């Protein structure tokens, strides 16, 4: 059985983490599979948006502790770097990624969700960076993204105490944008992704690049990048089609180039 399963409906790819016997805990093999799948999606134009979710009651229960237990410092660093490659690939994917958090998103699972552009969750979802309880720290971006998304006060409390936050608390702090009954979550995430996928992929790619870079540089640098990318939009067929359709009062037919 594949550790990562992908289905394509229209222009929406649903990528499912499939290690239910371990609550979708991430070992090296699963990380490599997820990395390869995301890289493959990013190389093409047939996918306009991605939904990332998990099988069963867990989105991702963290890194595989049984695998990590006897790591040397060098092995620990290598495992951190592998997880960071996955989260950065998700974050830098040309296509927007919607996380459908269907239960536990703990440790590395929370870090995977935070690398996505939009996070939706079920009403039984639980979030947390529990690494402090194991005598370690987050290694796949938790110390960097949680404060950027939720602010330092809430982030520091979760990082230092190792407690879990429920779906409503995650919603209050902006970690997710909506909470749904469990049975409605995946259809809602796919609906959101479908709305996004109908847009110009060329424009989406530039928007995502500019929005992501905002967090990594000062506002003046971000504004310069935005202006550069805005100008590049006018080199695309989608820009010409989109504006022509608007002026003609018809729906655009984007070719994603």
Contact call for residues 101 and 47 (beta carbons, < 8 A): no
From the candidates 111, 183, 241, 253, give the one annotated as an active-site residue: 111
**8 A C-beta contact, residue 149 and residue 110:** no
Give the DSSP H or E segment for 179: strand 178-180
Establish how many alpha carbons lie within 13 A of residue 256's alpha carbon, considering only the half-sphere containing its beta carbon: 16
Strand, coil or helix: what is 162?
A: coil
Whether 78 and 34 have beta carbons less than 8 Å apart is answered as no
Q: List the beta strands (DSSP E) in 1-125.
A: 4-9, 12-17, 49-54, 58-60, 97-101, 104-106, 118-122
Please indicate whether residue 157 is annotated as part of the active site. Answer: no
Told to judge if 184 belongs to the known catalytic residues of this protein, a careful annotator would answer no
Annotated active-site residue in 29, 131, 157, 226: 131
Residues annotated as catalytic (active site), given as ranges: 111, 131
């Amino acid at each position: 059985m594949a550790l990562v399963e992908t289905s394509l409906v229209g222009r929406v790819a649903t990528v499912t983490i499939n290690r239910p016997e371990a609550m979708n805990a991430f070992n090296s093999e699963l990380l490599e599979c997820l990395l390869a799948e995301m890289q493959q999606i990013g190389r093409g134009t047939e996918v306009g948006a991605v939904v990332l979710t998990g099988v069963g009651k867990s989105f991702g229960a963290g890194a595989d502790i049984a695998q990590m237990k006897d790591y040397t410092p060098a092995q620990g660093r290598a495992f951190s770097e592998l997880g960071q490659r996955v989260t950065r690939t998700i974050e830098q994917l040309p296509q927007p990624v919607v996380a459908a958090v269907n239960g536990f998103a703990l440790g590395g699972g929370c870090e995977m969700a935070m690398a996505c552009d939009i996070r939706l969750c079920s009403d039984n979802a639980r979030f947390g960076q529990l690494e402090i309880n194991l005598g370690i720290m987050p290694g796949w971006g938790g110390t960097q993204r949680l404060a950027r998304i939720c602010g330092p006060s809430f982030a520091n409390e979760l990082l230092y105490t190792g407690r879990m936050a429920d779906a409503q608390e995650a919603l209050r702090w902006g970690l997710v944008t909506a909470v749904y009954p469990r049975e409605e979550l995946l259809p809602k995430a796919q609906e959101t992704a479908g709305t996004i996928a109908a847009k110009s992929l060329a424009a989406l790619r530039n928007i995502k690049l500019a929005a992501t870079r905002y967090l990594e540089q000062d506002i003046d640098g971000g504004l310069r990048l935005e202006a550069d990318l805005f100008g590049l939009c006018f080199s695309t067929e989608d820009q010409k089609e989109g504006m022509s359709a608007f002026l003609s009062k018809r729906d655009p037919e984007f070719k994603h180039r």
